[in-house]
Amino acid sequence: MKKEELSYIAGFLDGDGCIMLQLVFRADYRLGYQIRASIVFYQKQKYKNFLFWLKGKFQVGYIRDRNDGMSEYTIVGSKPVIGILKKLMPYLRLKKDQAELALEVLAKMPGSGRKMNSRILLELSLEVDKFAELNYSKKRTNTSEKVRQFLNKSLLNPVETEV
């Protein structure tokens, strides 16, 4: 992609986009929580062709229409989020702190043979809490404290059975 396009997209993300790291509860996940990375671009439905242009540039993610007349282009997953943030980083202004922290946290995520464990999840969930402060989260319910409580109940203090 050309520098001009990357600069334009970064400006669009600064104004009408969001970089998120979320703690997501999953009953089927062995640690109960996962860290979800995403980038979302927002636009009125009548201008959603622009979102299709973006999707064509990045070749990942999905577009959906909301009930309030807005459309969202969402990119989910560590690898695509890292790739996009690295491309846009030199041009970001308002979301630069979020992008830097997201890249820091995602770099610490286990991968290629290493498994997530309770210690790493708890450490990273503390970083996700910092990220939420940068995004002025209002409805956030899953926090590092909830992760800690879950891990204490289910993993760190397992139920003992009689022999």
The residue type of 133 is E
Average pLDDT over residues 109-127: 84
CATH topology of domain 3-156: Endonuclease I-creI (3.10.28)
Q: What does pTM read for this prediction?
A: 0.86
Catalytic residues: 15-16
Q: For 5-61, write each residue's pLDDT tens digit.
A: 999 999 999 999 999 999 999 888 888 899 999 999 999 999 999 999 999 999 999
Residue spans of the domains in the chain: they are: 3-156
The predicted structure's pLDDT at residue 130: 87
How much of the chain exceeds pLDDT 70, in percent?
91
Q: How far apart are CA 28 and CA 48, in angstroms?
A: 35
41-45 long-range contacts, CB within 8 A, separation 24+ = 41/12, 41/13, 41/16, 41/17, 41/72, 41/73, 42/16, 42/17, 42/18, 42/70, 42/71, 42/72, 43/16, 43/70, 43/71, 43/73, 44/69, 44/70, 44/71, 45/69, 45/70, 45/71
Question: In 46-117, where does DSSP find H-type helix?
Answer: 49-58, 78-88, 96-108
Of the pLDDT bands very low, low, confident and very high (cuts 50, 70, 90), residue 110 is confident
Q: What is the pLDDT of residues 59-87, one digit of tens each?
A: 999 999 999 999 999 999 999 999 999 99
